[in-house]
């Protein structure tokens, strides 16, 4: 590992201070100046293990300017390059050390103050460290720390969305829904299942979408409240979603699943013992 002069960070800080987002030429000048710097000495070896240096530095310049714009409350439209592509470029070569450093304070309560995390917005740090976020969320689920898992899966979902990885965003949203239910946040969990359903539909992942709809239905039909009007409303929504799931399964030729989803809608299934794996396993056996 190389150890770089402190002047590298100082030069970047000085360049960022020259930016006036009401004057696009200052944004372009700062971007080009940072892109031409050999910043690997203070950043690259520490944070990355591979990738093209030139494109990586341009990606860094793009994200550093986005952080600058966020801090100033300014319009970022004049920043050269695409933010999602910059994130994908840097994420592709990030080291475990870099992920851990970026993930060290992702709840937003502490401002990043190390030599490289300070150049990224909170959203961008979460996107770059999303693999670590997912690992932490999985570990929280295994440790039965469901509220913590729900929050971290939610961050991962937002990070994958920013990275324009909708399938992974949907998977994280689905996991967040399951964690919400485990944490006792049933209504939040049901709505997150339905959000995951929408994303899966957009990806043409119709089985996953139908499953999310059914899981939302089961949660809604299981809800109890001291207010009978709330219970009736939740159960009505749950019945509707179970019937919608039945229609979705039937369209895919999964007629046994469709039949069982209709049974759930009509109250003919023990919801307390419901599991999606068992639902599909028994449907396959019967089919």
Residue 24 pLDDT grade (very low, low, confident, very high; cuts 50, 70, 90) = very high
Residue 131 pLDDT grade (very low, low, confident, very high; cuts 50, 70, 90) = confident
Q: Give the 3-state secondary structure percentages of the chain, helix then strand then coil, rounded to 5.
A: 70, 0, 30
Q: Give the pLDDT mean for 101-127.
A: 73
Which of 49-53, 65-69, 220-224, 272-276 holds the top average pLDDT? 65-69
Dist. CA 176–CA 146, nearest whole Å: 9
Q: What's the pLDDT tens digit per position in 198-208?
A: 999 999 999 99
Q: What domains sit in the chain, N to C, each tagged with a CATH number?
A: 7-120 (no CATH), 130-286 (1.25.40.10)
pLDDT of 286: 47
3-class DSSP string for 101-161: HHCCCCCCCCCCCCCCHHHCCHHHHHHHCHHHHHHHHHHHHHCCCHHHHHHHHHHHHHHHH
pLDDT of 254: 96
Q: What percentage of the chain has pLDDT greater than the value 70? A: 85
Quick check: 261 and 280 in contact, CB under 8 A? Answer: no
Dist. CA 181–CA 246, nearest whole Å: 22
């Amino acid at each position: 590992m190389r150890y770089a002069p402190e002047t590298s960070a100082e030069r970047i800080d000085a360049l960022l201070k020259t930016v006036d987002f009401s004057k696009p030429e200052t944004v372009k000048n700062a971007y080009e100046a940072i892109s031409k710097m050999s910043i690997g000495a203070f950043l690259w070896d520490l944070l990355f293990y591979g990738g093209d240096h030139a494109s990586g530095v341009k990606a860094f310049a793009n994200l550093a300017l986005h952080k600058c714009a966020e801090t100033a409350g300014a319009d970022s439209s004049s920043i050269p390059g695409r933010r999602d592509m910059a994130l994908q470029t840097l994420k592709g070569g990030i080291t475990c050390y870099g992920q851990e450093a970026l993930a060290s304070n992702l709840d937003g309560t502490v401002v990043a103050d190390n030599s490289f995390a300070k150049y990224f917005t909170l959203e961008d740090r979460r996107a770059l460290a999303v693999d670590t976020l997912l690992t932490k969320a999985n570990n929280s689920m295994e440790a039965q720390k469901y509220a913590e898992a729900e929050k971290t899966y939610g961050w991962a979902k937002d990070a994958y969305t920013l990275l324009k990885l909708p399938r992974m965003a949907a998977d994280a949203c689905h996991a967040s829904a399951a964690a919400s239910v485990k944490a006792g946040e049933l209504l939040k969990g049901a709505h997150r299942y339905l959000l995951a359903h929408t994303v899966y539909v957009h990806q043409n992942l119709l089985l996953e979408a139908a499953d999310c709809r059914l899981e939302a239905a089961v949660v809604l039909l299981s809800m109890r409240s001291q207010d009978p009007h709330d219970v009736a409303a939740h159960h009505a929504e749950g019945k509707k979603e179970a019937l919608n799931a039945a229609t979705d399964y039937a369209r895919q030729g999964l007629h046994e699943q469709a039949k069982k989803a209709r049974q759930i809608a009509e109250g003919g299934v023990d919801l307390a013992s419901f599991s999606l794996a068992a639902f599909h396993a028994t449907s396959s056996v019967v089919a």
